[in-house]
């Protein structure tokens, strides 16, 4: 069965090409077919906010295809006490900045930002865990719409020949495409399936796990996010 825990971050945008992320951790777990989630709100530089959340036990999730319909928005650390952190000491001047006071990150497009995932091993039967990152629109009026990359960026030369499930996602792992422990999920021809990035975590242990992501579209792109606030939902999941 999946266990789900969630945390959230809020993000604001500043200048062109910058993505802002605000982080807060949230309450307790929800149990379902495999996950726990955390939510993060994020904004991209052109004065448009984005949100990021983590979710794992959600009956709307199929593994590893991805969530069908909008993922849950309620932050819940679950029985695994799942949480997400960005450390200011890891920020790089002029590329990405994180403020603990504002609980916000500012990052340029195509710039890696590391996210630390913390959880407690409470079920010895679970041998493999995953984190799913799903970008959603923050406003309720836009909540049923899938977030997609703009036409200009998804047709860029560096993505030529890439599967659409990769080229149409606004979020990407910083690891090279084709890396075994990273999967891009979704169904390009079915807008009910949200795009997500699924990362296989190391074997459960006491040490937290860090993974770097990057945005490959701007919130100002008129054929994509189009200045709408977005969020990223991180979900802790198991495969069984």
Task: Consult the annotation and say whether 217 binds a ligand.
Answer: yes
Q: What is the pLDDT of residues 114-170, one digit of tens each?
A: 899 988 877 766 778 899 999 888 888 888 888 988 888 877 757 777 888 998 999
| Domains of the chain by residue range | 3-238
Report residue 209: phi and psi, to 5°.
-115, 140
Task: Consult the annotation and say whether 100 binds a ligand.
Answer: no
Give pLDDT, residue 154. 78
Show the 3-state SS of 39-84: EEEEEECCCEEEEEEECCCCCCEECCCEEECCCCCCCECCCCCCEE
Task: Consult the annotation and say whether 221 binds a ligand.
Answer: yes
Task: Consult the annotation and say whether 209 binds a ligand.
Answer: no
pLDDT class of 63 with cuts at 50, 70, 90: low
Would you identify the CATH topology of the domain 3-238?
A: Immunoglobulin-like (2.60.40)
Q: Is the pLDDT of residue 197 over 90?
A: yes
Percentage of the chain surpassing pLDDT 90? 12
CB neighbours (10 Å) of residue 155? 11
> The whole model's pTM is what?
0.76
Give the H or E element holding residue 164. helix 164-167
């Amino acid at each position: 069965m999946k266990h789900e825990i969630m945390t959230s971050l809020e993000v604001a945008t500043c200048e062109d090409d910058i993505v802002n992320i605000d982080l807060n951790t949230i309450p307790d777990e929800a149990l379902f077919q495999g996950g726990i989630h955390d939510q993060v709100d994020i904004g991209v530089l052109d004065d448009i906010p984005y949100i990021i959340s983590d979710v794992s036990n959600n009956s709307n999730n199929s593994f590893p295809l991805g969530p069908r319909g909008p993922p849950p928005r309620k932050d819940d650390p679950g029985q695994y006490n799942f949480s997400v952190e960005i450390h200011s000491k890891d920020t790089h001047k002029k590329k990405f900045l994180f403020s603990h006071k504002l609980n916000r990150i500012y990052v340029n497009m195509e710039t890696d930002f590391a996210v630390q995932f913390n959880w407690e091993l409470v079920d010895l039967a679970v041998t493999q865990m995953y984190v799913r990152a799903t970008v959603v629109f923050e406003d309720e009026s836009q909540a049923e719409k899938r977030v997609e990359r703009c036409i200009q960026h998804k047709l860029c030369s560096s993505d030529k020949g890439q599967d659409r499930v990769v080229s149409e996602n606004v979020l990407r792992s910083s690891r090279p495409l084709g890396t075994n422990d990273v999967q891009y999920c979704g169904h390009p021809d079915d807008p009910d399936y949200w795009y997500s990035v699924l990362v296989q975590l190391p074997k459960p242990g006491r040490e937290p796990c860090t993974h770097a992501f990057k945005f490959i579209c701007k919130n100002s792109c008129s054929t994509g996010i189009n200045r709408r606030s977005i969020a990223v939902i991180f979900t802790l999941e198991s495969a069984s």
